Structure formats: structure tokens, C-alpha cells
Structure 1
């Protein structure tokens, strides 16, 4: 073939022997490399993206290309992945073509799981191809030998670039790319993704100095349309509320029996353990079913990954730990338990089934409640249309920049102006001016004005020639054991007496356990023997009900998917394709009240149990609704309405109090995001929590010291103490600024709160009712149970929802005592 003829003969022959052809996008990626360009490949799952990214590397080692020359020595290609599992999977899949073509290429992985002796050897004698993560790459750059190690680097392949480019891990990687480009100016950057919503934005992120002309955009060949269905109860109705979808376990088990290998995605680690337990109890055939999530031990994860690669499991329950790129060919069904939250995320997960471009992926969505059913319909339609969603890029975090500056100092002395120029060549930090960079340097050097008198915060110093260097060599070791971007709550290692590790649970969960207590983790029933330092010692138990819960921000519905849900609700003609119970739910809502419409905000007010309730149908996600609830109750208090509480879901905010809200527009005026928002955030735990994270990321507070790890309480105590000092004596401190940026963008989702206020300013549909509405039932049933782990309160939620629904769906007028008698 003409296209194949431009590739080395060894690669041509390998494709031919397998009965494959070089796809157009694979050839174009190779051509872009030959032209000296960076490249972004956007192609469907199963399109051979990873091979496309590596083709130029394979070609560089082909004897027909080398002629009489020797194969390249040293590190030639870096592959950066957001997940450890993906890096190990890519290693397995690269070894085969390399061996079959007889190429002299050594491939290794490097992550937090890599033994220290191998890491040291890799710095001295690197492989030709190194598969790593952003954090491990950043640490590699902090060693004095980094310049020698990366001097001959030719390519950096960034897989699943959409998964982290818009967040702090993307900030860290962008800074690392700038450092690498300075060391190896001819370096080519390659981004790979199946679910980029805005290719131009990602081209700009990849390009040094934002030079779009230097980045080729390659669009992949279209693949087979995925086959996606929504599972419905065979005899019962779709639940009004709840998220675990345990109603589907019998049907799900039959699907597992009918397929070769089923991958079951959940949105949280708790739900992964919870669904696994339900499936195991239903596993009358004793099928091999596994579990995988980020809190399991390395050994447990590797064991299940190996079993999947060998085709030994019939089903695997997992979280986002297996979202990306993992290529297990025997998976013929993907199941999404609960709401998908975004079309890109769903498409990514669907692509794990039949990981081939010319074969349709098969997936089943299992909604936990009626709103999730509507969301599932919206997601399926988006996937069918090929519409993606994704997060917007935002300015890079100053805490990440501080960590990078410290890493550069660990590698050797640096010139301030040269490093600033290098930093500004990356998109996230193109905004950093001289004054801002000087503030970052001052922070790394002294901790800031209020902390400069403490020796432990003085990490770098300026030499007589104006360059910056480490104040003491010991700071390098302390930096490397503490550096990183992911700041989870402090964890306890779960271990048997013989030392075998099962994984980690959060310290807040483990602190409540006593000897003899039982819980379920890693698919095992365990009994607590005791706590030793930061280890939770356990032994096997007969049976347990408790499952560890994990805190953290909830995954919100994407703005794109929320708009689609509102459109579906307003499309009365389209209800005909919904199940009878869902259609009846919407019809009674439409008859009694209104339905949310795109561009408008529906607000309902009604009495219930002698209190005044107001429902705001925002569809802006849990984080935004939670923030709006805090702000509205403060305003209601100021206006004498006697607020008593609120409950938030992805779709709805319900607030209740002693007096009714007569004018919601007045409560939702835009000025709520000025003084009141600032006052609330400063008085709440949010800014302290944000400060804790940026203090850890920036290196101001260390989680670990040589031979010792701090407990979560110790870290929190340290950060709270420093926070109070800075708030009092240096309120404009760099980290206070960084904490505010986090609190606004991530913890409060203030941008989406602003979207609610914008809609309220344009048009509010305020409906006053004599009772609860059908649309308010899912949120109302969560009252008093929203802080319990999903699944633990599932039965109570379902019972309460049915009770509320009987009132909301009644068509006859209410007597004075009807509501009370109905619910008594």
C-alpha cells in the first residue's frame, strides 16, 4: 500500500502479518513527526491511538531506517499516563510488537509503585522508552542528573490528555514539558484522546508558547457506533430516589452470566465495594468476580489487572481507576451503575468493551432513580451524536508553580529570568508576570513575610551571581518524599498480622473503629484487631455490613448534560418513549406545576409538615447547589424567614424554614456573590480545607519526614495554625490567594452558581403549590440522610420516597389534615 510504503519495511511487514492496515490517522501521526511537528490525535477508542503515538519511536529503531548507524542510546521516548494501571497495560501491549519486529527497544514503567532501587538504576541507565505519570516525571526532573538524562529525549506521548490537562496535574505536566523542552529543544510533544470537546484548546495547551502552527491536529477514522441501552426494572417501577441501583442486581447478574467479561463502573469507591458485595451475595454460580479501585493495595490491583489480562474474570467492579485506555480484548459488556455525569466520561467507559475500531462497543446504563434515568437518556443521545463535554482550562495554580520551582532548585541552581521565561512558555502559566513570579520565589525562599523568621521555611537562597540554589541539601530529600498534586484525606493502611496489605481507608473512618468491629473492604469481611501507628490491623471475619466511605468532592453532572436533561424534560412529545412510571411522573408534574425549561429557572414553594419549602431546579451539580444552599439560608436568616435547613442533589436544591419565600428573585440577586459569598467562605471550613491542600502541594507543610509519616490530625493542626497566622498578619499571602482560587473554582463551583443567578435575572418561573410536587420527591426523600454513605441509607431513602410520592402524585384536593394523615 502507498501509505505503508513510507514506513520502515519492518512496520509494514508487521501490519501485514497481522492482517491489519495502517489507518489514516496513524500514518498522519507518523508524517507529522517526520515534518518535525508536535501533534494532537483525537480518535475513537480502539482506533490504535497508542500505537499511532509510538510509530515514530518504533521507526527510529528499525534496521531499515538506521542503515549502518547504531540504534539510539539513552532515553528516547517518554509516555505519560494519568493512571498507573494504564502505563502497565501499555507496557504489555508494546512488548509484543517490539519483540515480533525484533527491535532493540527496552521499555520500563516508573510510578509511585516502582521499587527505589529500580528508580535509581533508571536515572543512571534509563530504558529507551519510559512509561510514567506526571508526578513521577516531575520528581525525575528534580534530580541533578536530569539534564543528562533528558538531553537526548525525542518524544513525549501524553495519553488520555483530556483526563488531567485542565486540572492541577495538567499544570504540573505543562511545567514539566516546558522544562523538558528547555533541556531538549527538538523534543516533539504528542497528545492522545478519544473525548476532547475542544481540540483547539488542547492544541494550545500542547504548544510551546501557544504556537498553534507547531501542533498538527489529526482526526481519527470513525469507528462503529456503540450499542448503548438503559436497564429498566422488569416488574417494579424505577425508584424515586437513591443512587446505588441495587434493584438491578438480579438482572445485572444475568448479564454477567450471558457475557464473556463484564466491566462494571461505579462513581465512588464506596459504591464499588457496595455493589461488589451485592453481586457476591447473588453469585450462586461462584463466578470469578473482582474489584478494583484506587484505595486497594498495589498487590491487589496488580493481581486483578493480571487476571483480567489473562481472561480469568467474568466481571470486575471498578471506579475511575480503570476509566482510561486499558485494553482488555475479552471485555464484551460495560455497565455504568448510576448516572454517567458526562457524555465524554461515558464514552470513555463504553470504549473499554470490544476495544476495536470496527466493532461496536456494548454498554448498559443502570439508573438509580428517575432523574438518573432522564440523565441516562440524555447521555445516550449525546454519545449517539458524538457530542463531547469537558472542563474549561483555567489559570495554573500558584501552589503547583511553587512546587515546580522547588523541584528545579533540587536539580541545581537556576537563573530567575530564564526559569520565568520557561514557565511562561506553558499555556497555564503564560499569565505569570515578573511580580507574580517574584512572589512565588519569595514564598519558596522564606515562606512569605509572616513566616520568614522560621528557618524551616527557608528553602532556597540567592547566590552572589544572582542565581538561586537550595539553602541546604536536606531540602531535596524532603521535597521528593512530599511532592505531588493529589491530596487525599490521610489514610490508614489495612493489614493482616502477617504484613499483607489490602489497601487504605481514610483515617476518619478508621478512627471510629474498635477491636472487634467488622467492616468489608477489598471484597473481604474483616474484623479489627487494633490500630498501630497509621496501620489498621485486621483478621478475617464471618460477615460484615459496614463499608468504608471516602470523602471528597462529588462528581457533578456536566453543564452540557444538564442542558440536555432540561431539554428532555420540556419536550412533552418525547415522553412517549419513556417508561410508564416516568411518563406519569412528568405528566402529573406538568399538570400540577411547571417543568424546568432551558434558559429559565423553575422555583416551587409549598407547605409540608407545617414548614415552608422551596425547591430550586438548577441542574448545576451537587457542589454548586450545596454552595447556593449555604448562601440562600444566610440571606433568609437576615430577612427573618427562619431557615431550618436545605438538601442538595445534582438537579435540585430544597430549602425549608418557618416562613415561605415570597420572592425568590430577590434572594437570588447577583450581589450574593460579592460580600456574602466572601463572608461565607471565610467563615466556613472551605477556605481552611483549600489552604490545607495548597499548603501541602506547595511544600509549606510536609506530610512525611524521613522514616515517619504525619497523621491527618497533625497535618490539619499545622495548616490551621499557619492559616490563622497568615489571615491575621499577611492576608494577601500567595497561598491565601491560591486557596481562594481553589475555593471558587473547585470547592464551591462558583461559576455554576453564577449561571443560576444569570438565569434568575432573566426569567424565574415561581409556582406556589398546596403540597410537594412530583419533581421535588427525590430531593425531599434525602433530608436527614444526605450525609450518610450512599447505600447505607438506601432502604430508608426508598421508603421515604414512596411515602412522599403517594402525596405528590394524588390528584384530588387536599383536606386540612390530609397531608398529615397521609404521612402518619
Structure 2
């Protein structure tokens, strides 16, 4: 074990602390090229990451020594607060600063000229720094990079952007060392490979995982409703728990649900307990106020979303409540860790299922947490839209050699399998726009001269820099209080803003505000709350239940009884087994029954919401082809309910894998999903701009229009264009989750239990209450119109068809 220098040893002693074994190990292995530390929340993980840097900096260093990268701006600011205390108390001459999108222009310029010893930043800000010509000077003294919450970055394009950035840094500073920190990792070897410079190895250090969490389901007087996701029924019980604890974090899966719950909680808060709300669409000032109040211990409860998922150290938080099924065990473990942020103290958490089925999911999640069975899907190859952006970033920093850049990119683990042909495709696209666009000057961005690639016009660098990033938030508009000095409240989706008319009210930051006008892409509001509020739409992720959690639920269904479930839920499942079947992992359960004058088909695929939505689209497409007259469907994480005019006699052809992908490709080609995906990838790759001039962000509508024109042009004139290939790849694994449909078909292998009944089944009943119904426009509409026309003729005594039925039907409408 490496001994602490005297000054550090004295400081630990003054705190009454002893160095943890994993902290000492990190210090002893400070020279390792790459190292991943997995330690529980509250285990001194961040100090373990920084300790080698502080010890080295105590001996003096010129310029930037350590770069810390985190997924959240708030996390960088929190780390700066926590680092400043020991530095000041030990009297160390170490300058720590953060650099994020919230950092002022003046400070960012100063940081480039005179970098601090420790710079705390985000993937986007690092990418921007690397795009400047003076990047070699800024980073020449860099010794270590610390990537915090690396598991969260590894799941998104921000992580791919970061690893390409680290590959570039390694080229500038070959001796740079990499450190990854995480509390929740389902596949440590995969994360280590993600962190390391390929093909170099990365060792993993494990800290003592600490005691088991104290986690249970919240008991409520009222049972959960049959459908819905708000958890409103549990507010009295939640308030009682808040009163018993110092500070409670109340997590929600979406921002809209957080807003509704906070509003209802505030109305029920008769004791005037200080409570706050925190999510990513609120203004920076409002988030900062809530964070400061939490640090000061002034809030008893904070309703929040993923904006507080990660390692911000709130010492007084002693309870976490998760409202709504967690959908993902790893995310639940991360959130549980926010409570009792102390080493060897159990975290306390309560789950609040939002509806009856979520009780089953919560019980399955509790079992997975106790068994430390984390979930996660294997990573695929690095996305090429991010790679295109990285080529542009490299060009902004100066001329580059294509061979050198290709080797650099392959050293980032996600791009290790990148072929030279794929790289050349991306380089050609970035340079010329590709075959169909090379005639336009707008996309002629790079040129080759003397074996080096240059920006064709150096002035393009500013435009490229303004559009760096992989977070798609372009459809947001700001919300501001009307009047002189009116404060910024946050942001809402542009599409939601377009539905508002003067006088409409909506929830923002837990308060009801009244829409007055929209000027220059800013929504102006007042506090005149004279109508029930609408629910603002936010871009927060709509989580799908993970594959592992779905499998656990299906395993539970094989039990004879369910002593771990509340009586009402166990009776519900028993009634389903009595009247029909319970779904099984290796068979596909399909139920057919009449209801309300329509024939219904319920398919239990347990493939997650996105995949079940896609399955509904494909199944109704095949039903239409077979003349079964489908009229619409609705999907949840576990099932899709389809209604129409005719009963399905044999469901097997609907789920025959043969030609299913071809059907999917046909549907996908002209679907809005593809246009939406194209817009996102084209923006990341630099084909569509978010910003054209400093301070002038394009509206989501403007970007969508540009993207649609480009998409239609490429489909018509260059169907094999790189951006269309990238779009197809992204759509398959993202919005439609086709891979999980294939997984469902593979595990069931054509084994279908088709149960025909005379009424709705217990498990299908909640689907009738689900929002988000998708209509199917097809032959069913024409048939119903014709039948209505026939009925009108008969009522008029014109059974022989004095007027053509089709002609009359065209003038009728169906309610």
C-alpha cells in the first residue's frame, strides 16, 4: 500500500478518516495507462479518482494536469465544490475550474489561454476544445483523464464522442492515463474495454460493495389504478414518508410525470413542508437554486428525474422513492445509491408502482437488486454519424492525414472494427456531401492538398463549432415570465408550444402558468391560473422495460402462487390463469375476444414499449393484407392490443418471421420514424445545422423542413447515400427496437398459444385504459362507410340502391 504524503495524512486524520483500501490502490497504481474503479455510492469513489492527481499536483505542475469528464453539468459544478475544500484546507496551490455550456465566454477564453490544473467538463465541451488550432498547447501538460459515471456515458452517443476525443488527446499526449469511475456496471469487462485505448488492456479495481440496500415497495391504503403512470394515488403515503425523513428524492421516469406529481404533492402538502422540483427542462437558475437548497439541507423533498440520477453528493438524503416501475435494474440501483451517501451505510428506498401491472415489475426489480443482477444490452459498433462529426472537429483544428486519423479512430474501442472503406465513406461525405449533394457548395467542406485534408473555407470552422454535440434538443423553446425582467422558467417542446392558444395554462416547474404569446421562439407566460393545466411535453427519455426484467416477470408467471405480491394483484393473475393463460417465455400468447362491437386481438410479447409498438404496426399491416380490417392498436411494454372488424382465426401468419423484415423495411422507408431519425443523424453528422449564426438557433420546424427536403432528395436520387444507411441502422436499434422483436420471435420459435374467448381477459383489460392509441386507416373505414350507407338506404326504403352506395358513403363520416 502506498503511503499518503504527510500533508494528506494529516488532513485525513483531521477529518477522523482513514484511507479506504480502494483509494490506496488507486494511489499505488497511479501510473497505470488505464484503470476502472467500481465502488458503491458513498464509498469515496470521486476522491479515489482525484487523489493521485492531488498528490502529483502538490509537487507542482505547469498548466493542465487532470481533465475530469462527467455526463452532467451539475455534477462538474458539485465536484468543484467538493474538491475546493480539501485543496484549501491543505493549503495546496491547485486551481480547479469547470467548463460546460453554462460557462461564460470570457472565462472560456481565459481557460484556453491559461488552463487550470484541473478542468471539469462534459463530452461536448471537450470536443469543442479539441476543435481549436491551439489544442496541442492547451493539453501539452495533460497527465490524467478521469471519466466519472462511465456506465452512463457508455450507453449513449455522448460516450462515443468522448472516446473519439480521448483518442485524439492520446495522439497529442501519448503518456496520458485514463481512469474510469462507476458505481453500477453490469458488464465490467465491456466498460473497461470501452475506456481503454484499443487494443490495450484495462485493469478493474473493485471496492467493497457495502451493505445490502434497504429497499421495499411502499404500502398504500389505496391500490394502484389499472393503468396510467403518475402514481397520484400514493401521494398521502409519500407525504407521510417525507415527514419521517430528513430529505427525500422522489424519482420519476419522465419530466411530464414529475411535473404532475409535484403539482399534486404541493396541493396535498398541508404542513407546508419545503419541497422542490428538478429536471433537465427547467432553467439553469432554477436548478441551481434547488441544488443549493439541497446542499444547505433546506428541502424535505425533491421531485426529480434523471437529472439527479448521477453522483451528486447530497449528504442529507436519507430516502429515495421511485414512482413508476424502474424499467431497468441498473438505473434503479443508481437511484437507490442517492440515499445515505455514506460508506458502509445501507441506502433506503421505496418503490411506488404506478399501476396494477407495475406491481409485478417492481417485485421482479426488487429481486434483481437483492441478487445484484444488473441489466444492460451489449454495445454495438460506434455510430458513424458521430464519426463524421469527429472528422469535422479534426479538420477545424488543422490539416490532417487520413491514414493517421483512421488509426486514431480505430483506437477508440467502439470503432475498433471500423473498416477503411467505412472510414473513407464518412470522409467523402464530410468532404463533398456525397454523390447527390456534391454539386452544392454548401456541402463542399474539405479538400485534399499535398496529402493533407483541409477545410475548404477556414471560415466554416465557426459554423462547425456551433453545431458540435450529440444531444438532440433542437425542438425546445424557452419559457419566460412576461414583463420587464421576467425570469426564464425553462423549456418545453416546440410541438407542444404550437398547440397552445392565448389563455391556455400548463405546468412549468410545478407552478401553473398561462400562455400569453410566442415571440422570437420564446413562450411568454403569466401566473394567471384560471384553467386546468395542460401537461407539457418534454424530450425526456421514454424508458422501455429491459430484456432481463421482462424475463424475470415471465419467470414469475410460472410460479404456482405469488406470496410476494399483494393479494389483489395475486388474485388478478390467478383469474387470468383460470380464464386464459399466463404468458410464457418460450411461447407467444395471443388472445382473441369481442368487445364493444369490435373484434380484439391481444399479443403478449414482453419486448418493451418501442418493440411492441413496432409489432403493432407490422401485425396490422399483415392483417390489412389478409382482409381482416384492423382499425387501430395500443401498445405497452408487455403487450399490444389490436381491434378491428374481423376475428383472427389463425395468428401464425401474422408473426411468421419469413418476409417480416422485408415488410418492416417497406413500412419503415416512408414512415415518419425514418424522417425523425434522419434529422437526428444528419444534425450530428453536420448535414443539417442547429445554429447558423452566433446566438441564432434554428427552430425545430426549420430543421425538420431542411431534413425532410434532404431526406426526400436522397431517397429519390441517391438511395444508397451514407446518411440513409446510417439512418436505417439508427432506426432499427433506436426508435423501433426491431432487434427485440427478432429476439421475441427467436425465443418463441413459432410456438403460439391462441386462446379464443367470449369476453375481455383480466390481463388485457388494463390495455383498454392506455393512452396513445394508433388508428389504422384502411379497408375497415371503407367497409364501415359502405355498411352505414346501406343502413341509411334501408331506412329510406331504398334497399335496391337508388343511389350508388359508394357515392353516398363518400359523403358520410364515422364518429
Question: Is the TM value for this pair above 0.5?
Answer: yes
Query: SS where residue 332 of structure 1 aligns?
Result: strand
Tell whether the 8 Å contact from 2:219 to 2:237 is kept in structure 1 after alignment.
no
Task: Say if 2:80 and 2:96, in contact at 8 Å, map to a contact too.
Answer: yes
Residues 666-815 of structure 1 aligned to structure 2 (within 5 Å): 666-706=653-693, 707-761=695-749, 763-782=751-770
Distance 1:85 1:750 in 2: 35
TM-score (norm 1): 0.92
| Contact 1:244/1:368 (8 A) holds in 2 | yes
Verify the 8 A CA contact 2:255 2:540 in the aligned structure 1.
no
* Shift, 1:784, TM fit: 6.5
Distance 2:542 2:642 in 1: 20
| Kept after mapping to 1: 8 A contact 2:247/2:301 | yes
- 1:479 corresponding residue in structure 2: 464
Tell me the equivalent position of 2:185.
196
Aligned to 1:88: 77
Query: Aligned ranges for residues 392-541 of structure 1 at < 5 Å?
Result: 392-463=378-449, 465-496=450-481, 497=483, 498-541=485-528
Does structure 2 conserve the Cα–Cα contact (< 8 Å) formed by 1:398 and 1:734?
no
Contact 2:254-2:540 at 8 Å conserved across structures: no
Q: CA deviation at 1:598?
A: 2.7
Determine the structure 2 residue equivalent to 1:337.
323
Check whether the contact 1:74–1:128 (CA below 8 A) recurs between aligned residues.
Answer: yes
For residues 377-428 of structure 1, the C-alpha deviation after alignment (integer angstroms, 9 at most, x for no partner) is 1111111111111232111111111111101111111111000100011111
Q: Distance in 2 between matches of 1:778 and 1:94?
A: 51
Deviations 1:595-618 (A, max 9, x none): 122333222222222322121111
1:230-379 superposed matches below 5 A? 230-234=217-221, 236-379=222-365
Deviations along 1:245-274, one digit per CA (max 9) or x if unpaired, are: 100011111111111111010111101111
Partner of 1:132: 121
Tell me the CA shift for residue 785 of structure 1. 5.9
Match of 1:43 among 36, 39, 44: 39
Partner SS, residue 603 of structure 1:
strand
Which has the higher mean CA deviation after the structures are superposed, 594-603 or 134-143?
A: 594-603
Deviation at 1:553, TM superposition (A): 5.5
SS of equivalent to 1:192: strand
| Contact 2:253–2:542 (Cα < 8 Å) also in 1 | no
Moved over 3 A (4+): 783-787
CA deviation after TM superposition for structure 1 residue 489, in Å: 4.6
Gaps of 5+ in 2: 776-815
Other-structure match for 2:155 = 166
How far did residue 763 of structure 1 move?
2.5
Distance in 2, matches of 1:552 and 1:199, equals: 27
For residues 659 and 473 of structure 2, the distance between their equivalents in structure 1, rounded to whole angstroms, comes to: 31
Distance 1:489 1:782 in 2: 29
Contact kept? 2:363, 2:564, Cα under 8 Å: no
Sort the Cα spacing of 1:601 and 1:515 in 2 relative to 1 into closer, same or farther, 3 A. same
Could you tell me how far apart the structure 2 residues matched to 1:547 and 1:784 are? 15
Taking the aligned partners of 1:620 and 1:784, their CA distance within structure 2 comes to: 18
SS in structure 2 at match of 1:109: strand
Residue by residue over 1:455-512, the C-alpha shift from the partner in whole angstroms, topping out at 9 and shown as x without a partner, is 111111111x110111112211101111110113511111123242111111111112
CA 412–764 in structure 1, closer or farther in 2 if over 3 Å, else same: same
Contact 2:632/2:773, CA 8 A, preserved across alignment = no
Mapped contact 1:232–1:238 kept (Cα < 8 A)? no
- Report the counterpart of residue 28 of structure 2 in structure 1: 31
* Deviation digits for residues 257-313 of structure 1 (CA, Å, limit 9, x no counterpart): 111111010111101111110011011111111111111111111111111111111
616 and 489 in structure 1: CA distance in 2 versus 1, 3 angstrom threshold? farther
Kept in 2: contact 1:224–1:357 (CA 8 A):
no
* Worse-superposed segment, 522-531 or 123-132: 522-531
Residues 717-771 of structure 1 deviation map (CA, whole Å, 9 limit, x = unaligned): 1111111111111111111111111100011101101112113325322222221
Find the residue that maps to 1:509 and give its secondary structure.
helix
List runs of 5+ in structure 1 lacking aligned partners.
788-824
Residue pair 2:690, 2:698 contacting (<8 A) in 1 also: yes
Deviations 1:351-385, CA, capped at 9 Å, x for gaps? 00100121111111110112111111111111111
Mapped contact 1:601–1:759 kept (Cα < 8 A): no
Q: Does 1:600 align with 2:587?
A: yes
CA contact (8 A) 1:339 1:375 kept: yes
Kept in 1: contact 2:281–2:538 (CA 8 A): no
CA contact (8 A) 1:75 1:127 kept: yes
Distance 2:388 2:233 in 1: 49
What is the alpha-carbon distance in structure 2 between the residues aligned to residue 729 and residue 515 of structure 1? 44
CA distance in structure 2 between the aligned counterparts of 1:668 and 1:494, rounded to whole angstroms: 46
Note if contact 1:670-1:758 (Cα within 8 Å) is conserved in structure 2. Answer: no
Asked if 1:102 is matched to 2:91, the reply is yes
Q: Assess if the C-alpha contact under 8 Å between 1:403 and 1:697 holds in 2.
A: yes
2:19 maps to: 22
Q: Structure 2 CA distance, aligned partners of 1:10 and 1:558?
A: 48
**Structure-2 residue corresponding to 1:612:** 599
Deviation for aligned residue 1:109: 0.9
Number of equivalent positions: 771
Alpha carbons 1:691, 1:719 under 8 Å: kept: yes
Alignment counterpart, residue 12 of structure 1, candidates 2, 9, 13: 9
Instruction: Indicate the residue corresponding to 1:181 in structure 2.
Output: 170
Report SS of the residue matched to 1:355.
coil
Give 1:559's match in structure 2, choosing from 547, 556, 559: 547
Match of 1:226 in 2: 213
Per-residue CA distance 1:609-632 (angstroms, 9 max, x = gap): 232212111111110000010001
Contact 2:585 2:747 in 1 (8 A): no
Q: Secondary structure at the match of 1:451?
A: coil
Say if 2:533 is the partner of 1:545.
yes
**Secondary structure at 1:249 match in 2:** helix
Q: Deviations over 1:196-241 (max 9, x none)?
A: 11111111111112322xx11101112121111111321x333221
